[in-house]
A and B are shown apart, each in its own frame.
Chain A
Amino acid sequence: MTARSAESDEYPPCGASSALLAAFLRALATLCILISALPAHTAHSIVIGVLAHRPAHEVAQRWHPLAAYLQEELGKGITVRVIALPYDELEAALARQQIDFALTNPSHFIALRNRNPLSGALVTLVPRAQGSGALNSFGGVIIVHPQREDLRTLGDLVDVHIAAVGPFSLGGYQAQAARMVDSGLPLPAAGRLSFVGTPHDRVVDAVLGGHADAGFVRSGVIEGMIAEGRLSAGAVRVLAAETLPGYPHQLSTRLYPEWPLFAAPHVNPDTARRVAAALLLLDADSPVAQALDIHGFSAAADYEAVERLLRSLRLPPFDGAPQFTWHDVWQRYLPWLLAFALSLALLSAAGFRTALLKRRHEQTQRHLAATLNAIPDLLFEVDGDERFIGVHTADPGQLYAPAERFLGCTVAETLPAEVAAVARQAIQEARLRGRSQGHRYALSTANGLRHFELCVARKEGSASTSPSFVCIARDISEAHQTTEALRRERDLFSTGPVVVLNWAPDLSGRVLAVSSNVGAVLGYSAAELCAANVRYTDLIHPDDVIAVTQELQACMNAGPDHFEQSYRLRTGSGEYRWFHDATRISRNRDGAVDAIRGYLFDQTWLKTLELERDAQAAALAKSNAELEQFAYVASHDLRQPLRMITSYAQLLEQELGTTLSGDTRRMLDFVAEGATRMDEMLVSLLEYSRVGRSGAPLSDFPVREALEEAIRFLEPAIAESAAAVEISGEWPHLHACRNELVRLFQNLLGNAIKYRRAGEAPEVHIDASAHPQGWLFSVSDNGIGIEPAQRERLFRVFQRLHTRTEYEGNGIGLAISRKIVERHGGRIWIEAGPGGRGSRFLFILAPRANPTPN
């Protein structure tokens, strides 16, 4: 390895050339210019410090021709000396102003310039290109062993061991590092990075020797080693190779300007200008350039790229943390700060919302649990296989068995067979139609035998799960009982003969509802009757409808709240039948009619009987009337011829008086007596027929007065027989015919006196008292009494138990008495007297007798 290639990074190559003469002439001319320009007092020495990247004496020796050249160019009064100093010593010498000019690598220049008041770059070294002209820039190369197939891209360098020249080497480390940073890769880690120092060949050796996976060298090093035969072509492979048109070397990084030469601050500007001019005028073909193996010097390059590189790598002088103000942060990271703040806000909001949702969820859970606990029904859920997966009840007594026994078991396994059948049918319906309702079952629970109604709803599962079923069992035992009672009651009505109708609470005649037995009773269906166009009154017989309507209207107009009527209705067969209608009207608080309900009962059979009876009664009354008329006529009209018989019998007796024999006279007496008896009988008969005919007006009067009047009529007989008459009891006022009641008491009292026992004074007791059917009157005596078998016969006309000779009378009195009593709605009968002696006549009169005139 020659020094030239080894130093090609940090040190411009030097070489030899011929054209000495031309250079000499040009240098001479330059020198003349410089000398003439130099002021007299500028005669002094100039020291040029060169970075000693190699042993100092080697470097100093190499650059000696430049010193000689400059000394020659600047004039004899000025001595020019080149010294080689390592990094730190060069820096120290500059700081102490012990050197006037310095030539070092660009990154070192930047570092020095930031620490010392230096001039800018005066000129830039232009090395000689390989076999050609100038080369203004250089870069870095990344090399790997050609067999390392795993190392292909920059990214592959991250975890491998790298050999580099040194941390301040632009071509041997910094350029490559910057390239990695530029590509978004991290800098090689300290543990994987070895700085092997100059010359750069060491890096190549480290890679080829397997001490490192990759190496960083200056551009041109590889080509130089190959040219000198120290490296075969293809011995190393260049990673991330760039092919730049016209650039002669392989390259992996950006290009950077070559070494600058710059002046210390104390250097006279004129001196600096003259040195720069001398260097710029150095011809590539001059012996000096040849000796230095350089192309020459160019106008100072722009070193901003190097400065940026150092900044990006945080290398001196930019190794300190940059001064960032909040303003810088704000300016530079505004979008990120905003994004971060937004993210934070979103995150906070999301967290807050999550917490809020969690709280709401808990509230909802509590609310749901409270709601569930408030539901009195039994809730359970079964899966698609009818297996219980949840049971909930606020009252465990509703359960057939403890809840734990349900879970995991099927409906069929858990419930009694008949209940399970109902439940499974409900679930099946819900499976097909989404829900089912109304299934009922009875079950023995801890609360006893209870009735339940089951409602099942299908609960859709996710795409992967089958639906489950939510079942609600409601205890309807009370409702069931009510329903049963209602059903029985309905049956009671619907099966009986009474039709219950509900009319509209107006006079429209519309039927709102009717009991279901209407078909059997009336021959209409309930629907027919309740049709909007049907008026109940249209069914009523035309002869009856007015009465019914009027009655109903009267009730509606604040009349009685019920009425009862019988009328004819046209039945479904078209036949009219008699119905008894008990109508009840209910009113609301305001008195308005809110319901009219009728209870219809078919009484056609009864009505038929009634009509027949009325007809018979009418016929009977007519017959009686005719008979009475006959009796009256007979008794009245028969007396006239009888009076003729009596009269003529008396005339005969007077005419024939003395001529009559005893027999004839007796016969004539028989005629007269017969006629008299017949007349008496006719009078009695007439009197009997007159009861109820003469018709004294009815009036209210004290019955006691009638009795007392009767006693006055009988005064002579009472006195004659020394009868004792006792009156007791509570005597009422009655609405009756006074004369007839006097006659009644007269007949009964008279009989009591007349039929007395011989030699015994009659004792008569008359009493009156209230009776459930009216008033009970009795006339008791101590007379001869009446055989029970004869008692009924005595009330017939002309019936006697004794001969006229024993007791006077014609047997009409009791018949008249019975007629009077019956005419006043009462009845009369005979019992044995008190203590079995005598007789007692009893009769009852209705409290308000309403005698029917004959």
Chain B
Amino acid sequence: MTPARVLQGLLLAIAIAVLAGACTPAERPALRVASHVWPGYELMFMARHEGWLDSKAVELVATGSATESMQLLASGEVDGAALTFDEVLRLQAKGTDLAVVLIFNISSGADMLIGKAGVDSLAALDGKRIGVEDSALGALMLHKALQAAELPHGAITAVPMTIDAQHGAWHDGSIDAVVTYEPLASTLLVAGGELLFDSSQIPDTIYDVLAIRPAALQRRTGRAALRALLGAHFRALDHLRSNPADAGYRLAIRLGGDGPTALRTFRGLHLPDVHTNHRLLAHGAPRLHAVAAELLAVKREIGAIATSAAPVPQISAEYLPPPNGQRTR
């Protein structure tokens, strides 16, 4: 092949790429990502609100709960979802092939066990009804809290419920305590709830991640959209860091309250930057694999699963912005 032919090929490829880009159908974005309201996830929505995320390329589908997000992801209606790592493991175990491409946050106190008035200590949990999401994360939190309380599992009654049902259950008295997280946690604490246990006592264990179906990344447009989404997330994170006063009000659009209130919901959350994400996701992601193993062990312990082997999703750092990228705003 002559150099001239190579040149012609290159020019043709560029022309095709330009045309293909121009011809992408407007109706269906290249990537659809489901997310319920959670401070760690909200930076994506803030980026969208600020125009930093091309809604033609990425569609953020707001859901009421992680369960709904998982259903949409499992049914293929969305290409990805913001979920806890535990939820990702559960979907993967049920046959939905996933790739973890971003860590939104690491819980260091954001997940809490809150007791109603009268349940003001771990020991007071004995014999109580505790609302908890039907997830390994909920089970893990409850497990760790009971360990701290030196109570056996049989000492309490676990009431499985999704996050959007917890507020109602709290008020109608059907539960005495609840394993929950922001923003509901702050609401319950303001309403007189008592913090009994939180994830700061089990650091580096609870991750919120973005999981994408690898099939969506087989298309060039899908990969480009994912990179754009992650870039927008980190841009919003940067804005939150540099101008929290402004960012708080903008996060409040979905988190509720005003700016300072919204910022308070980030209490107990470690928002890893690009470098930290690379550190956690690259090179085989040993920490995440260890967490996966621990979650499986808990599940086995509480009898949620029988087998010890379960598929672990792919973990990829390749869609993150480069770690040395210096954003100016």
Interface residues of A (CB under 8 A from B): 136-137, 139, 182-183, 244-247, 254-257, 301-302, 304-305, 308, 311-312, 331-332, 346, 349-350, 353
CB B224 to nearest CB in A, in angstroms, measures 14
Q: How far is the CA of A304 from the CA of B243 in the complex (A)?
A: 7
Q: Which residue of B lies closest to A356 (CB)?
A: B4
**B242:A244 contact, CB within 8 angstroms:** no
A561 to chain B minimum Cβ distance, whole angstroms, is: 64
The reply to whether A305 and B243 form a contact with Cβ atoms under 8 Å apart is yes
- For residue B319, CB closer than 8 A to chain A, the reply is no
Contact of B11 among A257, A305, A346 (CB under 8 A): A346
Cβ contact within 8 Å between A136 and B329: no
Which residues of the partner chain A approach B326 to less than 8 Å between Cβ atoms? 331-332
A717→B51 CA distance, assembly (Å): 167
Instruction: Tell me whether chain B's interface is mostly helix, strand or loop, or mixed.
Output: helix
Segment at the A interface, from B76-84, B119-127, B249-257: B249-257
- List chain A residues, Cβ under 8 A from B262: 245
Given contacts A244-B249, A247-B259, A349-B3, 5 further A-B contacts (CB under 8 A): A244-B250, A245-B252, A245-B253, A245-B258, A350-B7
Q: What's the Cα separation between A311 and B257 when bound, in Å?
A: 32
Nearest CB in chain B: distance from A95 CB, A:
29
Q: Give which listed residue, A139, A254, A256, A353, contacts B4 with CB less than 8 A.
A: A353
Are B243 and A255 interface neighbours, CB within 8 A? yes
| B260 contacts the other chain (CB 8 A) | yes
Instruction: Report A-chain residues with C-beta under 8 Å of the C-beta of B7.
Output: 346, 349-350, 353
Contact between B11 and A247 (Cβ–Cβ < 8 Å)? no
Contact B258 A305 (CB under 8 A): no
B242 touches A305 (CB 8 A): yes
- Tell me, rounded to whole Å, the shortest Cβ–Cβ distance linking A412 to chain B: 47
Assess A137 versus B252: contact at CB under 8 Å? Given A346-B10, A350-B7: no
CB pair B329–A244 under 8 Å, yes or no, is: no
* Other-chain residue from A183, A246, A302, A308 in contact with B244 (beta carbon distance below 8 A): A302
**Contacting residues, chain A, for B252 (C-beta < 8 A):** 244-246
Q: How long is the Cα–Cα vector from A497 to B242 in the complex, in angstroms?
A: 121
Q: List 20 A-B contacts (CB under 8 A).
A: A244-B253, A245-B252, A245-B256, A245-B258, A246-B257, A246-B260, A246-B261, A254-B246, A255-B243, A256-B245, A257-B245, A302-B243, A305-B242, A308-B328, A308-B329, A311-B328, A331-B326, A346-B7, A346-B11, A353-B4
Q: In B35-76, which residues have CB < 8 Å from any A CB?
A: 51
Q: Which residues of A contact B256 (CB under 8 A)?
A: 245
Query: With A244-B259, A350-B7 in contact, is A256–B246 under 8 Å at CB?
Result: yes
Contacts of A332 in B (CB 8 A): 326
**Chain B, residue nearest A136 (CB):** B245
CA distance A245 to B328 in the complex (A): 27
Chain A residue nearest in CB terms to B3:
A349
Distance in Å: Cβ of A21 to nearest Cβ of chain B? 30
Bound CA span A302–B246, Å: 11
Distance (Å) between the CB of B280 and the closest chain A CB?
Answer: 25
Closest to B244 in A: A302
CB pair A137–B246 under 8 Å, yes or no, is yes
Q: Which of A182, A246, A257 contacts B249 (CB 8 A)?
A: A246
In the assembly, what is the distance between CA of A301 and CA of B242, in Å?
11
Which of B10, B242, B260, B261 interacts with A304 by CB under 8 Å? B242
Contact mask B307-329 → A, CB, 8 Å, 1/0?
00000000000000000101011
Q: What are the 10 tightest A-B residue pairs by CB atom distance, in nearest-first order?
A: A246-B258, A305-B243, A244-B249, A255-B246, A137-B245, A245-B252, A254-B246, A304-B242, A349-B7, A255-B245
* Complexed CA–CA distance, A301 and B261 (Å): 16
A254 to B240, CA, bound (A): 12
A-contact bits for B257-293, CB 8 A (1 contact / 0 none)? 1111110000000000000000000000000000000
Please state if A302 and B242 are interface contacts (CB–CB under 8 Å): yes
Residues of chain B with a CB closer than 8 A to A311's CB: 328
Residue of A nearest to B52 (CB): A182
Report the separation of the CA atoms of residues A244 and B259 in the bound assembly, to the nearest whole angstrom: 8
Smallest CB–CB gap between B302 and chain A, Å?
A: 40
Interface size class of B (residues with CB under 8 A): 20 to 34
Asked if B259 and A246 make an inter-chain contact with CB atoms under 8 angstroms apart, the answer reads: yes
CB distance from B239 to the nearest CB of A (A): 8
Q: Is the CB of B249 within 8 A of A247?
A: yes
Bound CA–CA A302/B324 (angstroms): 24
Q: In this complex, which of B3, B7, B51, B246 has the most chain A Cβ atoms within 10 angstroms of its Cβ?
A: B246
CA distance in complex: A136, B259 (Å): 10
Closest to A311 in B: B328
Q: Which of B1-29 contact A (CB under 8 A)?
A: 3-4, 7, 10-11
B255 CB to nearest chain A CB (Å) = 9
Cα separation A257 to B260 with both chains bound (whole Å): 13
Nearest CB in chain B to that of A183: its residue: B51
**Residue in chain A with minimal CB distance to B238:** A308
Q: CB distance A305 to B257 under 8 Å?
A: no
Q: Which of B11, B243, B244, B329 has the most CB of A within 10 A?
A: B243
- Asked if residues B329 and A301 are in contact (CB atoms below 8 Å), the reply is no
In chain B, what residue has the closest Cβ to A137? B245
Q: In the complex the two chains form, what is the Cα distance from A522 to B317 in whole Å?
A: 101
Tell me the bound Cα distance from A137 to B263 in angstroms: 14
Chain B CB within 10 A, most for which of A139, A183, A302, A305:
A305
Q: In the docked arrangement, what's the CA distance between A182 and B329, Å?
A: 9
Q: Please report the C-alpha to C-alpha distance between residue A246 and residue B257 in the assembled complex, in whole angstroms.
A: 7
Q: How far is the CA of A353 from the CA of B11 in the complex (A)?
A: 13
Instruction: State the CA gap A256–B246 with chains docked (Å).
Output: 7
Residues of the A chain whose Cβ atoms lie less than 8 Å from the Cβ of B246: 137, 139, 254-256, 305
Closest to B8 in A: A353
Quick check: B245 and A301 within 8 Å, CB to CB?
A: yes
Q: Inside 8 A of B4's CB, which chain A residues have their CB?
A: 349, 353
Q: Are B260 and A136 interface neighbours, CB within 8 A?
A: yes
Give the chain B neighbours of A304 by CB distance below 8 A: 242-243
The docked-state distance in angstroms from the alpha carbon of A719 to that of B195 is 195
Nearest chain B CB to A801's CB is how many angstroms away?
Answer: 120
Which residue of chain B lies nearest to A357 when distances are taken between CB atoms in the complex? B4
Question: In the complex the two chains form, what is the Cα distance from A346 to B250 in whole Å?
Answer: 45
A256 / chain B contacts, CB cutoff of 8 Å: 243, 245-246
- B258 touches which of A247, A301, A353 (Cβ 8 Å): A247
With a cutoff of 8 Å between Cβ atoms, the chain B residues found around residue A312 in the complex are 328-329
* Nearest CB on B from A186, distance (A): 17
Q: Are A305 and B245 interface neighbours, CB within 8 A?
A: yes
Task: Give CA–CA (A332, B322) in the complex, Å.
Answer: 12
Cα–Cα distance between A257 and B245 once the two chains are bound (Å): 7
Give every chain A residue within 8 A of B10 (Cβ-Cβ): 346
Query: Using Cβ atoms and an 8 Å threshold, which residues of chain B touch A255?
Result: 243, 245-246, 249, 259
Q: How far is the CA of A304 from the CA of B252 in the complex (A)?
A: 21
A700 to chain B, nearest CB (A): 95
What residue in chain A is nearest B14 (Cβ atoms)? A346
A782 to chain B, nearest CB (A): 117
CB contacts (< 8 Å) of A246 on chain B: these are 249, 252, 257-261
A159 to B260, CA, bound (A): 37
Cα separation A139 to B262 with both chains bound (whole Å): 19
Distance (whole angstroms) from the CB of A257 to the closest CB of chain B = 6
Cβ contacts under 8 Å, A350 to chain B: 7, 11
Q: Which of B3, B243, B324 contacts A254 (CB 8 A)?
A: B243
Query: What's the minimum C-beta distance from A723 to chain B, rounded to whole angstroms?
Result: 120
B10 to chain A, nearest CB (A): 7
Complex: how many Å from CA A834 to CA B243?
165
Residues of chain B within 8 A (CB-CB) of A331 are: 324, 326
Q: Could you tell me the distance in whole angstroms from the C-beta of B218 to the nearest C-beta in chain A? A: 24
Residues of chain B within 8 A (CB-CB) of A136 are 245, 260
Cα separation A182 to B51 with both chains bound (whole Å) = 10
Q: Which residues from A are CB-within-8-Å of B3? A: 349
How far, in Å, is B132 (CB) from chain A's closest CB? Answer: 30
CA distance in complex: A182, B328 (Å): 11
